Structures are given as C-alpha cells and as structure tokens.
Structure 1
C-alpha cells in the first residue's frame, strides 16, 4: 500500500483521465478485496478529486488532509471583478473573465473581513521555465509576478483572503510550515474525532500498529 500522498497523486490523475467516481472506486475495492486493508483503501478513496491539476497540488492536499484540515474545493471559478474595467494591454494583467485558485475554503462571516480563503501553490518552474512562460503568454518572469499580484488583488476584491506557499513548505517536516500558514489564515479544521480517525487510517507505514486498531 502506497503512502497516502503518493496514492492520492495517482488516483487523482486516474479519476480525471477515466472519469472514475468515488462510488465506482469504492464498489471495486470492497467487492474484490474483502479484508481489513479494503477499509483503509475505501477511506482514502473519499479524498480523491479529479479536479486536481497536477501532482504537486495533490501532494499538498494530501498533507492538508492528514493534518486535519477541512477538504478544500479545487479550481473553483470566481468572476474576476477587474474584468469589467475593460481589456488592459499587456501580459502582466489578469485579464481573464474567471479566476481559479488552487484551493478554496468558505469560512464563517465572523472570521475577519473575509468570507472565503484561497490558497495558491507556488512553483519555481513557472518563473524560469521558458516553455511554461510561453504557455502562459508571458514574455518575462516580471510579467508572471505582476500578473499574480493583479490576480491577488482581484481575489481580495471578491472577498478572499489569499495564502501562498511553496512546495518545499509542504514537503519538509510533513508540511508543518504550510499547515501553520493555513491555520493562521483561518482555514477550518475537522473536529478532534475526525482528525484522530484520519491519523489512524492514513498511517504513513503499512506496518503501523494503528492500522490494526480500526473502529
């Protein structure tokens, strides 16, 4: 059995490519592998989301789930309030009609001045890889940075608090820095019982004794 992070990367991609639903995965798992391991696999399958755009996003989401963070919405389309200003010339502006943050959580209105939180995974390659620059219709790294600032302004104006983190922050120390950033931003967590259940059923090692104490 793969570690949860690796398994989620693979399953997200397969679910997206073949339009596999959670119900289909669960029926397959429980119907062909009737043993204690199928309980663990079935529990993990509920977190699969075909809307994940790449392996990095899936990995980070797995770390969030393991830490007890409420499951985020992925690639939610948000109307860009700056689009009504008209077409701004240049590739340094967020001119799209819609914006799709990597992760979104809705929060109670009494949490600060924001009703939603958007988290963005920052990767180094999009700033330095010439192919990625070309795909994003950017002429330079400066364009990328300025467009991200414009995008963040649009999200703020739409009532979103924006949190940015790098992949290294999700990779090191089981994602402790990423998790703390999200906690400070006010991202919701599941209750204690659900968190402990995740810790048991998402154990990092197959031989972990917690796997044999299922309730």
Structure 2
C-alpha cells in the first residue's frame, strides 16, 4: 500500500507480449452497475478526453458492491475479471484494473471518513481511477514500446518504478485538475478539492 492511500490501481498483460494491435479500436462500452455516476455523467466525463481516447476498444465495468463483483464473475467467468483482479477487488486492495482494453473499477473499496462529503468524494475517486485506467488503454495502443517493457509485480516499490504507472498517475492528476470546474458542474459538487498525484486520493480544502 502507498502512504496515505487506500488502494492501488493495477494493469496486467501477458508477460513479454508484443502483439501489434490496430491503432483504431472499437468504441467504448460501458457496463455501469453503480448509482455513483449515471451513464450520462460518465459519457460527459469521457467526452472531456482527447478524441484519441474515443476508440480504444475499452469495455468499462463499474461495480458498486462486492456482491456485484461476485455475480459478474459467476455469470461471465474471467471475461471481465481475472483471478487476481477478482481476489484483490474482494479483499479491498484494488480500486481499478486494466488488461487489453478491459477496465474494471471498484469504487466501493475507497474509504470516506467524513459522511458529509461521501457522495462527492466517491464520485471523484471513481473518476480519478477511471482516468488512470483509460490511460493504460491508451498506452497499449499508442505507446507500445513503453507499455511492453517488463512489468515488476512485487511490492509498492515495484509498482512505483513502472513508467506506465507513473505516466497513468500523472495523466489522472492532470485531467482531474484541468477539468475541475467542469467536473464540479457535472457532479453538482460545491466543495473545494484537490487531486493528490500518485496517491489515488482527494483532499478537501475547508
């Protein structure tokens, strides 16, 4: 676990994989099983990204509870959730996941201590995780050389040493800060917040 952070975001791909994929993939598919964000809000948020992010062949699954994760796994097997992803989502250590265009998000694993800000913070956590995982999908298509370097899977230091993770962290932070006003309008947020780079956390300015 990172200092001051509740979760990790992870991506996986076959070891040594250097498969050439076409630049233009299918459009994004949403499997939103949560009321944290509506489908309309998600589409508005995705439209904030550059057009190059519109055709990455992504299927984005969002789960509101651990029971939804279990039900999806029971119905679809490993189509949307790999074994390690499934286990980490249920043990509370995983906020987001990407593999070959399949993105899964687990906002229920984030902890919000102040109930007065719970709704808005859960929305912001989810969006920050979403931006991070979408960046991995972008890397897979448009940054193949960096994306296909050997991935260190052991420990926090291993995670932090990855260029692809640092890049995804920077991207999520940049998008959150750049679109702060628009996100507030989409979500109806009336408090002042900041995105914490590399920590998957949101701070509130009181």
TM more than 0.5: no
Which structure has more RCO (C-alpha within 8 Å, separation ≥ 6)? 2
If the length of structure 1 is used for normalisation, what is the TM-score?
0.28
